[in-house]
Amino acid sequence: MKDTFLHKGLRKKLVDDLSSRGINNQEILDAIMNIPRHLFMDNAFVNFAYQDKAFPIGSGQTISQPYTVAFQTELLDIKPYQKILEIGTGSGYQAAVLHELNTHVYTIERQKDLFKKTKEFLPSIGYQCMFFYGDGYKGLEKFAPFERIIITCGAPKIPQSLVDQLKVGGRMVAPIGDGDIQVMHLIEKISETETKITTHGKFSFVPMLNNKQNGN
C-alpha cells in the first residue's frame, strides 16, 4: 500500500486537530505528520486511519488514538539520543513516533504474534528499534537504566520494577488504574529513593498483563 497525497492531506488535518486540542510540541506534530498510520492498521480499518480513534490490531490489542500517543509523548519531554523503554509494542506506531524524535527505542511486547509482525514491519518502513518478546512488568534490566519509560497499556499500579530501571533524572509515563479508565501518571525519578508523581487526566487503555503470550 502506498502513501498518497490523500493520506498526507488527511494527516495534515489530523495534526491540525491535535494542535487545536493542546499538543504544542512541533517535533511531535511533525513526527505524526511523517508517519503513514494507515500502514499500521488492518485493511478493514485503513479508511479510518486518520480519525482520532483507537482501532483493533489483533491479539486483543489496539492502536492508540493519535491524541493519546501525542499526549504521552509530550509528557515524556524527550531529548534527542535518549534511551527509551516502551512497554507494549503493539502495532509499533508509538515506537515509530519515538524513533522520529531521534531516540534509541527499546520496545517489549508480550503477544508473540504481534511481536513477530511488528519486528518485521517497522524496519521495512525505516524504523529501526530494539525489539523484545517478554513480560513488560519485568522490563529490560539488562539494558537499564533508561532515561525515559512509556507504558502503553493500563497498569493497576505503578510497577516498581520499572521505576528501578529508570535513570535518576528520568521520566516515566504510565496509565494507572484497575478498570476501563486509567489516570495518566508522570513519574519523575529525583534520586534512587525519591520520586515525584503527578497526574494528567483520564484515558482508556487495554490492560497490562503479566507473562508472555505465545499466540499461534
State pLDDT tens for residues 78-132: 999 999 999 999 999 999 999 999 999 999 999 999 999 999 999 999 999 999 9
Contact 52, 71 (CB under 8 A): no
**SS3 sequence of 95-127:** HHHHHHCCCEEEEEECEHHHHHHHHHHHHHCCC
Taking the C-alpha atoms of residue 195 and residue 179, their distance in angstroms, rounded to an integer, is 25
Superfamily of domain 55-203: Vaccinia Virus protein VP39 (3.40.50.150)
Selecting among 19, 20, 59, 64, the annotated active-site residue is: 64
Taking the C-alpha atoms of residue 133 and residue 119, their distance in angstroms, rounded to an integer, is 10
Q: Which secondary-structure segment (H or E) carries 3?
A: none
Taking the C-alpha atoms of residue 187 and residue 198, their distance in angstroms, rounded to an integer, is 7
Give the global pTM. 0.94
pLDDT at 25: 98
Residues 150-169 have pLDDT tens digits of: 999 999 999 999 999 999 99
Please, what's the b/e burial string for 20-44 (b: 16 or more CB within 10 A of its CB; e: otherwise)? eeebebeebbebbbebbbbbbbeee
User: CA distances (Å), 152 to each of 34, 53, 63, 81, 138, in order?
Assistant: 21, 15, 10, 21, 15
Catalytic annotation present for 64: yes
**Pairing mode, if any, of strands 83-87 and 61-63?**
unpaired
Domains of the chain, by residue range, sit at 55-203
Only one residue has cell 524513533, namely 99
Taking the C-alpha atoms of residue 126 and residue 136, their distance in angstroms, rounded to an integer, is 25
pLDDT band at 216 (very low <50, low <70, confident <90, very high): very low
pLDDT at 171: 98
User: Which of helix, strand or coil describes residue 91?
Assistant: coil
pLDDT exceeds 60 at position 179: yes
User: Which of helix, strand or coil describes residue 11?
Assistant: helix
pLDDT exceeds 80 at position 36: yes
pLDDT at 39: 95
Q: Which secondary-structure segment (H or E) carries 175?
A: strand 166-176
